Amino acid sequence: MFFKKQKGIAVIEFTLVLPILVLIIFLTVEFGRLLFQYSELTRMARSAGRFISNTAIVNTTGNLPAVLSDTNCDFCISNMKRVLLSGDTLNTSSNLTGLTASNISVVEFPADSGILVVNVSYDWTPLFAEKLQTFSFGEDIDLSFNLNASYAVTAL
C-alpha cells in the first residue's frame, strides 16, 4: 500500500530537477566553447608571430626597420594580420566570428631589442544570451568579455 502513494513522485522530481540540469548543460557548452576559442586565439597569435619573425627584416642588415610599418617591411604587417585571421596571406576572413584586423597589433618591445610582440584582442560573446536578464531589479548583466592573447618572438 505504501507504493501506491508513491506513484508519480519520480515525474514530479524530474520536473523540478530538469531546469537545473538544462542550465548545467548550457553552462558546460559555453565554458567549453570559451576554452576552445581562447585556444584558437592563442594558436592564431603563435602562427602570426612565427610569420612576422621571418618577414620583418627584409634587407641584409639584420636589424628591424626604425619604424615598423608595412612600407618598411614589404607589407609584412598586413600579411601577418591575414595569416592570423585566416591562416594564409591571401584571405581576410576570420576563423573566429567578430575578429578583425583592427583587433591585432604588433610592436617591438622593449625598443631596439628585436623582440616583436603580437597582441590580439577578441570580444567573446556567449552563444545562448549576451545579457543576463534581471527582470527590472537593476540593469541587465553583460555576459561578454574580452579575451587577449600575446605572443613574443625574436625577429630573424
Residue range 124-143, pLDDT digits in tens: 988 877 787 778 788 888 88
The answer to whether 140 and 134 have CB atoms below 8 angstroms apart is: yes
Q: How far apart are CA 115 and CA 109, in angstroms?
A: 6
**What would the mean pLDDT of 47-69 be, rounded to a whole number?**
81
Minimum mean pLDDT among 11-25, 54-68, 90-104: which range?
54-68
**What would the mean pLDDT of 13-20 be, rounded to a whole number?**
93
* pLDDT score of 20 more than 70: yes
Give the three-state DSSP class for 120. strand
State the residue range of the domain holding 85.
4-154
**How much is the pTM?**
0.80
Axis crossing angle, helix 76-86 with helix 9-55, rounded to the nearest 10: 160
Q: How far is CA 27 from the centre of its chain?
A: 18
> What's the domain count of the chain?
1
The answer to whether 82 and 91 have CB atoms below 8 angstroms apart is: yes
Q: How far apart are CA 18 and CA 44, in angstroms?
A: 39
Minimum mean pLDDT among 26-35, 49-58, 94-103, 125-134: which range?
125-134
Task: List the grid coordinates of 110.
Answer: 622593449
Q: How far apart are CA 50 and CA 76, in angstroms?
A: 12
Q: Please tell me the predicted confidence (pLDDT) of residue 123.
A: 92
